[in-house]
Amino acid sequence: MANFGRQVSLRKKGVAGTIRMETMTPNIVLVGFMGAGKTSVGKAIEQLKGYRFVDLDQVIVQICGRSIPEIFSLRGEEAFRQLESAALRSLQGVRRTVLSTGGGIVGRAENWETMHRFGPVVYLEADWAVLQERIGQGEGRPLASAEGGWEKVMALWEKRLPLYLQADLRVDCSQGSPEQVALAVLGKLNEWSGTWWKK
Ligand SMILES: Nc1ncnc2c1ncn2[C@@H]1O[C@H](COP(=O)(O)OP(=O)(O)O)[C@@H](O)[C@H]1O
Ligand SMILES: O=C(O)C1=C[C@@H](OP(=O)(O)O)[C@@H](O)[C@H](O)C1
Ligand SMILES: [Mg+2]
């Protein structure tokens, strides 16, 4: 994990003095299962903090000119995962950005490397009943469509649970509005890493 918010010596690079990592990587990355509220909380953080909001699914849709269900049905999940990793890499260098990812981003080690370079990764967690209610009929989410049955979706959630724990921070997203969850995220980040995110 990168050491955000700490002094970094530049002496080895032939430059006198130190700078703070915060000037290099003030972003926030949201991960969590479908329905956790990553997109909604990302938008709320944009409003509260004036950060730019980027939803990775929307980046993929823009690159492909197709919706997420169309990409899944025309090209399959593996192609979607490749597009997802490429879309994530394409964001390298973004600043003052809150990035909402898709629930399956956590399946590839290379995505974790990229996300950890962007900034602190925050896991929005909720229990199954809350996620199930928010997913609803699964519209727009090919891996959670109602006709596929809930057992498969729940098995996917259980399989992914340990992967989400690679995040730097965990925030309960099951109570309160997206704005309240966003405030909880910002509060935890403040406790966690001091001042960098206030910029
Ligand atoms: N804190 C919350 N409280 C109640 N409903 C929420 C909350 N966060 C998200 N939702 C609702 O749950 C659904 C999924 O939210 P979304 O932001 O798309 O989740 P994700 O991007 O994690 O899949 C949406 O209908 C949204 O309005
Ligand atoms: O969990 C997943 O594998 C997916 C989650 C979706 O995003 P949300 O988590 O925002 O619904 C979207 O990326 C795609 O349908 C696949
Ligand atoms: Mg989303």
* pLDDT on residue 102: 98
State the pLDDT at residue 193: 77
Band (pLDDT 50/70/90 cuts) for residue 194 is: low
**What string of DSSP letters covers 117-179?**
HHS-EEEEE--HHHHHHHHTT-TT-GGG-GGG-HHHHHHHHHHHHHHHTTSSEEEE-SSS-HH
Give the global pTM: 0.90
Question: 7 lies in a domain?
Answer: no
- Name the pLDDT band for 197 (thresholds 50, 70, 90): low
Residue 3, in any domain of the structure: no
pLDDT tens for 149-189 read 899 999 999 999 999 999 999 999 999 999 999 999 999 99
Q: Which domain holds residue 74?
A: 18-198
> Would you say residue 6 lies in a domain?
no
Ligand 3 centroid to 142 CA: how many Å?
13
| Residues 25-45: tens digit of each pLDDT | 589 999 999 999 999 999 999
Q: pLDDT tens digit string along 86-119? A: 999 999 999 999 999 999 999 999 999 999 999 9
Q: Let me know if residue 82 belongs to a domain.
A: yes
Evaluate whether residue 113 is within a structural domain: yes
CATH code at position 72:
3.40.50.300
Total number of domains constituting the chain: 1
Q: Is 60 in the pocket of ligand 2 (CB under 6 A)?
A: no
pLDDT over threshold 50, residue 131: yes
Stronger pLDDT, 166 or 7, i.e. the higher one: 166
Q: What are the distances in angstroms from CA 136 to CA 54, 98, 146, 176?
A: 24, 25, 8, 18
pLDDT one-digit tens code per residue, 55-97:
999 999 999 999 999 999 999 999 999 999 999 999 999 999 9
> What pLDDT is recorded for position 140?
94
Distance 30 CA to ligand 2 centre (A): 12
Q: How far apart are CA 103 and CA 162, in angstroms?
A: 13
Question: What φ, ψ does residue 139 adopt, rounded to 5°?
Answer: -60, 130
Mean pLDDT computed over every residue of the chain: 88
Does 7 score more than 70 pLDDT?
no
Read off the pLDDT of each residue in 130-158 and give the average, rounded to a whole number: 92
> Which of these, 129, 157, 59, 52, lies nearest to 97 by C-alpha position?
52
CB neighbourhood size of 153 (10 A): 23
Question: What is the best residue among 40, 122, 133 to mutate for testing ligand 1's pocket, by most ligand atoms within 8 Å of CB?
Answer: 40
**Cβ(34) to ligand 1 under 6 A?**
yes
User: Ligand 3 centroid to 57 CA: how many Å?
Assistant: 7
How many other CB atoms are found less than 10 A from the CB of residue 6?
13
Pick the ligand that lies closest to the CA of residue 140.
Answer: 2
Confidence check: pLDDT of 143 > 50:
yes
- Does 92 map to a domain? yes
147 band by pLDDT with thresholds 50, 70 and 90? confident
160 close to ligand 2 (CB < 6 Angstrom) = no
H-helix or E-strand spanning residue 13: none
Annotated ligand binding at 36? The verdict is yes
